[in-house]
Amino acid sequence: MINIVEPVFSEEEKQALVQIIESGRITRGRWTQTFQESFADFVGSKACFTVCSGTVALFIGLKALGVGNGERVIVPAMSFMATVDAVYLAGGVPVVVDVDEYYTMDLNQLEDAIKRFSPKVVIPVHLYGQMCDMESIMELSNRYGFFVLEDAAQAHGASYKGKKAGSWGHLGAFSFYASKNVPMGEGGAITVNDEDLIREVRKWIDFGDHPAFNVRITEFQAAIGTLQLKKLEERNTKRRSNANFYKKHLKGLFDLPQEREGSFHVYHLFTLRHPERDSIVEFLKSKGVDARVYYPYLLHELRNSDHLPTPNADLFKREVFSIPVHPFLSEDDLKTVVDTLKEALAPAGEGKV
Ligand SMILES: Cc1ncc(COP(=O)(O)O)c(C=O)c1O
């Protein structure tokens, strides 16, 4: 099977885990500190706080921005369910808007929704590894006075106009779940770009005079994250080269992912579209190529939330599927994926690369 994700660890990570066990310091130690500093540095944010998941990062981000009493929070129709669930868990009320051809928030609709609903927070999701047009979103934020919490769970190292995901908004939320471009197993982080917000985020992280959950990660996770982060740029480059291979060989056969001008896409997922999606996915799986649908639902359908019309997302939901693009694919794997996709469209025996 050519897997859709393939976390790879080396001797370095093994040794770090052994050292942590031998040291006896398995939580709240030097690795957690190091990870937070390196990640803030990498993203270009003022600070970074690790938490136990991306969902918790979004939840704490919303609480830190003052959500809790039915405030409106705008989210896009296409994302993992955590994006909308965090809004409900924090006590907000989501409003769902459509996505554009890049699978990120449609900015015309966003402005309509802002005028109608006066949101406290907007959560742009950098879906599949490509950033939203954050420049325009921050302009709207300045004009209309809402906070921006970037959902960068799929966008470690992605950038727009030279600035990385997680450094544009007031806050950024990351996930280090096993499949992510920086995997820890489980984990998350909040990047903070505003001095005043550091205090608000801390309230939800440090035990003190404010009720809070324990959201810490262990030293094991922080060590894995620190060592995986060092390899991120090289791995993102390989993801981009795999994506270019697919784009070259699948041109004209599928609706392929497009890159927004000024955007550095890190291809957390390579997502393409075809009207015969379901039979193609089934065929790929039967031939040992792992293909998945991200996502088979839209956020407003899933949780019955308020929404604007979503013609793009309605179509994309029926047609999108993702194929393996991870950095450990060999040239042969890439060719097999392309051949199998062509075979799925053509009669047997035709369509080799
Ligand atoms: C876009 C998006 N937001 C939020 C999350 C939630 O992260 P976690 O699974 O670490 O809670 C994920 C990933 O799982 C995600 O892909």
Predicted pLDDT at 40: 98
Q: Do 302 and 219 belong together in one domain?
A: no
**The pLDDT of residue 347:** 62
For ligand 1, the distance from its centroid to the CA atom of residue 53, given in whole angstroms, is 8
Ligand 1 nearest-atom number relative to CA 58: 4
Verify that 226 and 240 share a domain, yes or no. Answer: no
Does residue 2 lie within any of the structural domains? Answer: no
Closest atom, ligand 1, to C-alpha of 127: 1
Residues 312, 199 share a domain: no
Number of domains in the chain: 2
- Amino acid identity, residue 277? R
Residues with Cβ within 8 Å of residue 330, at least 6 apart in sequence: none
DSSP string, 256-312: ---PPTTEE---SSEEEE-TTHHHHHHHHHHTTB--B-S-SS-HHHHHT-EE---HH
Residue 154 Cα to ligand 1 middle (Å): 8
Residue 213 and residue 263 share a domain: no
What is the pLDDT at residue 206? 82
Per-run averaged pLDDT (10 residues), the chain, 353 residues? 94 98 97 98 98 98 98 98 98 98 98 98 98 98 98 98 98 98 98 94 86 95 98 98 98 98 98 98 98 98 97 98 98 98 79 50
CA distances from 316 to 34, 131, 330, 338 (A): 40, 18, 29, 21
Residues 259 and 164 occupy one common structural domain: no
Is residue 73 domain-shared with residue 132, that is, in the same domain? Answer: yes
Ligand 1 proximity of 153 Cβ (cutoff 6 Å)? yes
Region of 132 on the Ramachandran plot (φ > 0 left; ψ -120 to 50 alpha; else beta): beta
Separation of CA 153 and ligand 1 centre (Å):
5
Cβ of residue 76 lying under 6 Å from some atom of ligand 1: no
Would the CB of 79 count as within 6 Å of ligand 1? yes
Ligand 1 contact, 82 CB (< 6 A): yes
Domain range enclosing 53 = 11-97+105-230
Based on the fold, state whether residues 144 and 263 are members of the same structural domain: no
Q: What is the pLDDT of residue 208?
A: 76
State whether the beta carbon of 295 lies less than 6 angstroms from ligand 1.
no
Q: Judge whether 6 lies within some domain.
A: no
Domain stop point among 230, 253, 282: 230
CATH number reported for the structural domain that contains residue 323 in this entry? 3.90.1150.10
In this structure, the residue with its CA closest to atom 8 of ligand 1 is: 54
263 and 134 part of one domain: no
Whether 248 and 321 map to the same domain: the answer is: yes
Ligand 1 atom with the smallest distance to the CA of 86 is 4
Nearest to 333 by CA among 270, 256, 277: 270
User: Which of 5, 50, 55 for a ligand 1 pocket mutation test, highest count of atoms within 8 Å of Cβ?
Assistant: 55
Is the domain of 316 the same as that of 167?
A: no
Q: Does 47 reside within a domain?
A: yes
Residue 225 and residue 265 in one domain: no
pLDDT of residue 348: 56
Maximum separation of any 2 CA atoms in the chain, in Å: 69
353, part of any domain:
no
- CA neighbor of 222 nearest in space, from 26, 15, 5: 26
Domain match, 209 and 86 both = yes
